[in-house]
A and B are shown apart, each in its own frame.
Chain A
Amino acid sequence: MAAVKMDFTIRPAAKSDCKDIWRLIRELAIYEKVVDEVVLSYEEFERDGFGKNPLFESLVAEVPEENKSKEGFTVVGVALFYYTYCTWKGRAVYLEDLYVMTEFRGCGIGKGLLSTLAKVAKEKLCTLLELDVLDQNSRSRAFYAAKGAWDVTAMDNWHTLRFDAVSLNKLANEAP
């Protein structure tokens, strides 16, 4: 499919963007069929991202008023990320969520968000950008691979493991 030409800008999110980011993240949860797993409230999300000690940062993609979405939104994409660490490579960035509204895909917005994030990572002296992608999301996996990511799970068989809230409690109770 040929890319559609569209004006857009990528910029760091401000507190005034929080409602839009929340809207986009919920759309992503619907797209990934996990909306039942969203337990965070909007108030918690706003506090965590734009309060005194932010736990994450975001970049937003914005279109001019004349290109707004059919519901009237101009913030049409988001990249939500935070800083992590790799004891083999040093400072790193983890891309937690990358989402572009369906009607704005194919315009280079996803690529723009990813590239801008890479620039941010470089400025902070990070040498690694990490993310997780679902196996069924072959389009996204191909997108990241095309941009130079390597699939550490497929290549080296690293698995992502998780202790959720219940098992985390149990584990903590066993601490000496």
Chain B
Amino acid sequence: MDFSIRAANVEDCKDVARMNLDLAAYENVPEQCVPHKFCDLDLEQDGFSKNPFFQCLIAEVPQQHKSKDGYTSIGFALYFYSYSAWKGRSIYMEDLYVMPEFRGQGVGKALLSKVAQRGLASGCNMLNFTVLHANQSSVDLYLRRGGLDLTSDVGYHYMAFEEDALQQLART
């Protein structure tokens, strides 16, 4: 199947928002955790203004291979730059998603490689991300391609202060 990977532009925000909701459903994230207000407009502001919070890649197929619902943007990878005071600049992949009907055709692999390429071009020494351990096919894919499971191997716990807890913390 023909596909291409390119940098997202502001017109892609609707498709990214659409696929992001699909990804949340796939990962069984409760609907209330994906705020209604979070839509293409938030992505436009946060990703395509003067100081963007993230970068995005789109996987696209030609018109003749569009999805059954008529979409040609069929996958995305969203990433940003992070930092390790021990190793220097790093790249963090927040999302990697391919629509189900286009899986198994190398699109996910290509997106991951492109993120790695972008990271190296920017002087990064590592690529980090989180994955649901129950998502065995994804975990296996990453481990086969040289990824290390820092949680299993070293004992990393990912912790988060969400909105209410963050507000409470700011008040103390």
User: Is B99 among interface residues, defined by CB-CB distance under 8 A?
Assistant: no
Interchain CB contact under 8 A, B160 and A128: yes
* Chain A residues whose CB sits within 8 angstroms of the CB of B86 once the complex forms: 25, 29, 34, 37-40
Please pick, from A119, A132, A162, the residue contacting B158 in the complex, using a CB distance under 8 A: A132
B111 to chain A, nearest CB (A): 9
Please pick, from B94, B128, B148, the residue contacting A85 in the complex, using a CB distance under 8 A: B94
Residue positions of B touching A, CB distance < 8 A: 5, 20, 23-24, 29, 33-35, 38, 42-43, 46, 53-54, 78, 80-89, 92, 94-95, 109-110, 112-114, 116-117, 119-120, 124-134, 139, 142, 145-152, 154-170, 172
Check A133/B157 contact, CB under 8 A, given A25-B85, A55-B81, A163-B147. yes
B107 to chain A, nearest CB (A): 10
* Chain A residues whose CB sits within 8 angstroms of the CB of B154 once the complex forms: 134
* Chain B residues whose CB sits within 8 angstroms of the CB of A45 once the complex forms: 85
Given contacts A149-B159, A171-B146, 5 further A-B contacts (CB under 8 A): A39-B87, A80-B83, A131-B159, A133-B157, A161-B131
Q: Which of A144-176 contact B (CB under 8 A)?
A: 144-145, 147-154, 156-176
* Chain A residues whose CB sits within 8 angstroms of the CB of B88 once the complex forms: 39-40, 44, 48
B47 to chain A, nearest CB (A): 8
Interchain CB contact under 8 A, B95 and A168: no
A17 to chain B, nearest CB (A): 14
User: Is A136 among interface residues, defined by CB-CB distance under 8 A?
Assistant: yes
Please pick, from B95, B113, B129, B148, the residue contacting A175 in the complex, using a CB distance under 8 A: B113
In the assembled complex, the Cα of A42 lies from the Cα of B99 at a distance in Å of 44
> Which one of A119, A128, A172 has the greatest number of beta carbons of chain B within 10 Å?
A172
Interchain CB contact under 8 A, B162 and A161: no
Check A160/B130 contact, CB under 8 A, given A80-B85, A148-B168. yes
User: Is A7 among interface residues, defined by CB-CB distance under 8 A?
Assistant: no
Minimum CB distance partner of A111 in chain B:
B172
Chain A interface size range: 35 or more
In the assembled complex, the Cα of A94 lies from the Cα of B54 at a distance in Å of 14
Interchain CB contact under 8 A, A167 and B145: yes
Please pick, from A39, A118, A151, A167, the residue contacting B159 in the complex, using a CB distance under 8 A: A151
User: Is A104 among interface residues, defined by CB-CB distance under 8 A?
Assistant: no
In the assembled complex, the Cα of A161 lies from the Cα of B150 at a distance in Å of 6
Residue positions of A touching B, CB distance < 8 A: 25, 29, 34, 37-40, 44-45, 48, 55-56, 80, 82-91, 94, 96-97, 111, 114-115, 118-119, 121-122, 126-136, 141, 144-145, 147-154, 156-176
* Chain A residues whose CB sits within 8 angstroms of the CB of B165 once the complex forms: 147-150
* Chain B residues whose CB sits within 8 angstroms of the CB of A88 once the complex forms: 20, 24, 29, 33-35, 38
* Chain A residues whose CB sits within 8 angstroms of the CB of B35 once the complex forms: 88-89
* Chain B residues whose CB sits within 8 angstroms of the CB of A128 once the complex forms: 160-163, 166
Interchain CB contact under 8 A, A174 and B80: no
* Chain B residues whose CB sits within 8 angstroms of the CB of A172 once the complex forms: 113, 116-117, 119-120
A156 to chain B, nearest CB (A): 7
* Chain B residues whose CB sits within 8 angstroms of the CB of A152 once the complex forms: 130, 157-160
